[in-house]
Structure 1
């Protein structure tokens, strides 16, 4: 990550990330590229989650990012996208993946997502999570086909898990990412976010999404078990940390009141060391 092109606040966010330690074990060029991609994602995510700014202004900020990404790839002034310019050059990152991330954030800005269909949710997760994975696997040095497959499965597994972990936080800002099919099948009326997540029957809808997450975790773990080419401590770490969080949430259930599961940082560091030693 080039400190000259990365705002100090974003550097602080990267340094405070749960997976900072995991990224630190990458070779320098790959590590800095990952920090740059992370900083880009934080920047556009902060726009999407800004509860103070109005929708039009936030949409314009995302469009400014889109224009800067387009300009970067066209050889013009990259503007804010100077943040990722070096990573793009070094690892031939695809423009479509950066734009997909912006498209995903635009879905949140256009309207607060509430009980989308599963098809819409899957598209959202492809944009905000698997697209980030597609950028990442290039930086990790994976072969194209297996890298895209890992990004598909691990991105969705992680995003579904985050949705299940953040049910209350999302409802507080007017969002419910649980799919409408699962909520209706559980008998939950689609009234308003707080009422929906306050219904004890929401547990069944959460377990529907948890089952989908497990399918993707298993697929990602099967890919990683084949020991494909690449610097893969970071995705191994994500799977090793987040799959158990999903299991812990299932044991507690999602009927209110819920307890938010947190990442245990000492355990996280132990996992980093274990994966480094036995990679």
Structure 2
């Protein structure tokens, strides 16, 4: 795991967008794993700008989103299908047939989850997986105590997740769907590269546990310590609880990859 700390959220997002752009340029037929949330909105906005102003080409890209709420169809404004259309898919030249989000309205969600996992395998696996970190340590919707060896499946969401996501549902946690289909932790770990972006003071303690603590199902994101190629980008607020800051700063000053990323700004 490599850690890159940037002064603020905007610069953290800029580096993340650069890493995604670099992947697409290097391999136009990349398979990208995508995420949702406010941080991701800003990253997608930067990619849309690259597409419009620098001709970043999405025509050969394939995407798989991490998750979707069970019970919401693609037309629902709170669905992640809708989110992705609004923030990325409708604004770049990606083929609709090449974008994949779990079908939360499927009549058989267990079959949908298995089919989704199989589709990722048929695509050759995920080249670069974009990730956020939940305030309870989840990645995707793999909630605390999820098996670190789990695959794409239906899951019941934690109360803390419902509260965290309530803003998108009128501020009422009871309005947030209580179940979702999520890519599994083991599926995420099989990506060729994982890119996590964490910003804001509210994520500081859980980010420190994820990076420095033991690998445990209580903090699902900690499984990324096992990933062979994982880059975690934090802003100063999210990095404020790190105990190993001196060692991280040393790496940022001497690791060629991290130095190059800082130079991209």
Which TM-score bucket, shorter chain as reference? 0.3 to 0.5
Larger radius of gyration: 1
More strand by share: 2
Higher RCO structure (Cα 8 Å, ≥6 apart): 2
Q: TM-score, normalised by structure 1?
A: 0.31
